[in-house]
Chain A
Amino acid sequence: MGGHLAFGTFSYDAAHLLGGGVLVLSFVLLYQRRLTAVINTYALQAVVLSAAAAWQAWVQDAPHLYLTAGITLAAKGIAIPLGMHRIVRQLQVNRSLESALGIFPSMAIGVGLVTLSILVVLPVTPQAQTLTREELALALSVVLMGLLMMITRRTAMTQVLGFMSLENGLILAAVSVAGMPLVVELSVAVLVLLAFAVFGVFFFRIRDRFDSLHLDNLDRVGGMHR
């Protein structure tokens, strides 16, 4: 591996481009207005992530990462988005989404989170390979942006999408760390979690029970003094 990864070489730039692409799509997820658009953006993010994993497989000469790339593409890029579109049609929840924050504040916080993760990761990894440390910063940014999306978007479907985007950040981190064992197994385990999340929305029929997929309706049965 090492030899390919010097600064300014093509393999380095391509890895950066793909990792950066995943992060940019996290920003896009923050400001989409319609649920179907959010799902499509998520699918695109998964496709870029799968390309990033495949590129790492080639650069690191680690064939098992092709498997991770394939799983990501098939499940997160195709199967889960198709399933979610189906749920949207069946539950008829495709309407304009509001965000707890406006677009500008959430973008500003997003930029702040990226800065934060760069400030956290780069100083603590002085001797790590350049590629690994910057990919780790990108991955941490994607994770934090996923959390931000879960906080600002208050419907169950968008929370699930935020969670799934967060998991994309984890897979990006896992494939970027050279020689990490169990990456394939971990990505399968993560996938089980995602499938469960999507399944959960449908299975619990949150719409049936609470009229909409809006989490404020969940709070109706909650309350402080129970």
Chain B
Amino acid sequence: MIGELLTPAGLVAVVPLLAAIALGFVRSQAIGAWINIAAAAVAFGLACALPWHLGAAPLLLVDRLATHLAILTSFVGLTSAWFSRRYIQIEADAGRMLPLGVRQYHVLFQAFLGFMLLALLSNNLGVTWVAMEAATIAAVLVVGLPRTDQAVEASWKMFVLCGVGIALALFGTIVLYLAALPAMGSGWAAMSWSELAPKAAGFKAPLLNLAFVFLLVGYGTKAALAPLHAWMPDAHAEGPTPVSAVLSGSILNVALAVLLRVRGLMAGNAEALSPGLPMMGLGLLSLLLAAFSLWPRRDVKRFFAFSSVEQSGIAAFAFGIGGPAAMFAGMLHLTLHTLTKAAIFHCVGRASQMKGGQKFLHITGLIGSHRALGLTLAAGMVAVSGLPPFGLFSSEFLIVLATIRQVPWLAIPLGLGLVVSAWALMRRLITLCLGAPTSSPGPAPEVLDLLPAWLHLALVLVLGLAMPGFVLSWFRALAGGL
């Protein structure tokens, strides 16, 4: 079983974890930053090879869902590692991060990335849970790194909420094992995703329902679904920005991937509760709550954190509707949101460094003070509001279509949430990017710093306007297999 860790799939998770250990011994900030980038690049390269290594082993499950999200997560990990090289250097030069803090940051960044990839690729419920827990601890520590009162408060809040969340998820895991016992017999197989899926029809339905409730609440906390989303705005506002970029997309995706697998088990059992309604309910609640919470925000990063809650809600809603069309739209939405939001956080991070603050008060007229940065941020905000020509327009359009076809009366609250949040984003787009620029005491970003954001937005544009044939068939196969 240990040998599996040396296959391409295993190495995707092992390389960042080994890099995390190695980075603990690197004193030089510059070398540490490059090792950080190199390890993320190796993980991304290995993840790109996974579509040719599909298959299930006792420890690792390389199916389309895991492969897709592993590629996405490691890509965002790579671009954010690139971005964080300059970002952290500026923070360190300004004295906001001590040399030891920078070293800890690199260790935790890789550990966080590695454990998320392990959670995605694991074939065992227990290992998934442990990896999720470890990723949470790494994230909590990295959010607290700036050592300000607010950062400490944010990381404590995140720890308490996410700790309770994953504790409930463990209870759900135990009950799921108990539900699977009659069909699977006791032992390793009854905790293996790939073994469970084909035999879901034989599970005890009442226990499966109980497990689903706990897993939905537990992993839903990590997916920032309301009402347990409260850790997310604080963590984003106070933690280092590159981490917000990874946190915003990837940890939500990992949690939603686990929920999708559980949803598959529920759908495979005729007597079990239909998983659609609870997922739609939580998704819609998150969407509406976040849409209205966007309005009174004064902190830019907190604002975009609520936007992530909203987008996670939309994806969960789409997965709740079910059926190939909604699944396709949901996966597309998840993918595009991850790319867009990472680009936005890259821009916001550099903008707040340049302007010396992260309140809306500090940042206005960005196009006037730095044309490229302002236009990139504007493009990102247009994209995340779901306006054409970006890909999120297509995915939200497909989700609305699927809603009208399958649960027409829910199209009204869905539409309301989408419009209210897009309106809030547009209002803020105007104050952030247009108007008279405020002074810019901090260092301005260069072309190389904005490169990741442009790459992300270009991908979002291409996937929305003209999706290449092989990507389309990949998404179709992915949605069909869920």
Interface residues of A (CB under 8 A from B): 120-121, 123-125, 127-128, 132, 136, 139-140, 143, 147, 150, 156, 159, 163, 166-167, 169-170, 173-174, 177-182, 185-186, 189-190, 192-193, 196-197, 200, 204, 206, 209-210, 218, 221-222, 224-226
Contacts and interface: CB of A to CB of B under 8 A. Distances in A.
B146 to A, nearest CB: 12
Given A124-B206, A132-B178, A225-B296, A173 B164 contact: no
24 contacts: A120-B210, A124-B209, A125-B206, A140-B171, A150-B160, A156-B156, A163-B160, A174-B170, A177-B174, A177-B177, A177-B178, A177-B181, A179-B186, A179-B187, A181-B191, A185-B126, A185-B130, A186-B129, A192-B134, A193-B166, A196-B137, A204-B155, A226-B237, A226-B297
A192 B115 CA distance: 15
A206 B133 CA distance: 23
Nearest to B192: A181
B299 interface: yes
B207 interface: yes
A186 B206 contact: no
A206 B210 contact: no
A123 B167 contact: no
B152 interface: yes
B149 interface: yes
Given A123-B206, A150-B164, A222 B156 contact: no
B144 interface: yes
A204 B206 contact: no
A209 B137 CA distance: 22
Interface residues of B, number: 49
Nearest to B208: A124
Interface in B185-228: 186-188, 190-191, 204, 206-207, 209-210
A124 B210 contact: yes
Which of B174, B182, B206, B210 has the largest number of chain A CB atoms within 10 A?
A: B174
B124 interface: yes
B153 A181 contact: no
Contacts of A190: 170
User: Closest 5 A-B residue pairs measured CB to CB?
Assistant: A179-B186, A124-B206, A182-B126, A189-B130, A204-B152
Interface in B125-141: 126-127, 129-130, 133-134, 137, 140
Contact of A182 (B124, B159, B166, B237): B124
A181 B126 contact: yes
Contacts of A121: 210
A167 B133 CA distance: 13
A81 to B, nearest CB: 19
Nearest to A190: B170
A127 B205 CA distance: 12
Contacts of A125: 178, 204, 206-207
A225 B298 contact: yes
If over half of A's interface residues share one DSSP class (helix, strand or loop), that class is named, otherwise mixed; here it is helix
Interface in B323-370: none
Contact of A163 (B163, B237, B296, B299): B163
A192 B137 contact: yes
Given A150-B164, A166-B167, 17 more contacts: A124-B210, A125-B206, A125-B207, A132-B178, A136-B175, A163-B163, A170-B170, A177-B181, A178-B186, A179-B181, A181-B126, A181-B191, A193-B137, A197-B159, A204-B155, A206-B156, A209-B152
B191 A174 contact: no
A185 B178 CA distance: 18
B133 A204 contact: no
Contact of B298 (A150, A185, A221, A226): A226
A41 B61 CA distance: 43
A29 B206 CA distance: 32
B187 A204 contact: no
A224 B137 contact: no
Contacts of B210: 120-121, 124
A222 B174 CA distance: 36
Which of B137, B164, B166 has the largest number of chain A CB atoms within 10 A?
A: B164
Contact of B153 (A139, A174, A222): A222
B171 A170 contact: yes
Contacts of A204: 144, 152, 155-156
Nearest to B150: A221
A225 B181 CA distance: 49
A181 B188 contact: yes
Interface in B447-470: none
A147 B164 contact: yes
A181 B160 contact: no
Contacts of A197: 159, 163
Given A124-B209, A150-B160, A170 B153 contact: no
Contacts of B137: 192-193, 196
A67 B253 CA distance: 35
A218 B154 CA distance: 9
Given A206-B152, A226-B299, A170 B174 contact: yes
B302 interface: yes
Contact of A173 (B171, B204, B234): B171
Contacts of B124: 182
A211 B204 CA distance: 52
B302 A226 contact: yes
Contacts of A210: 149
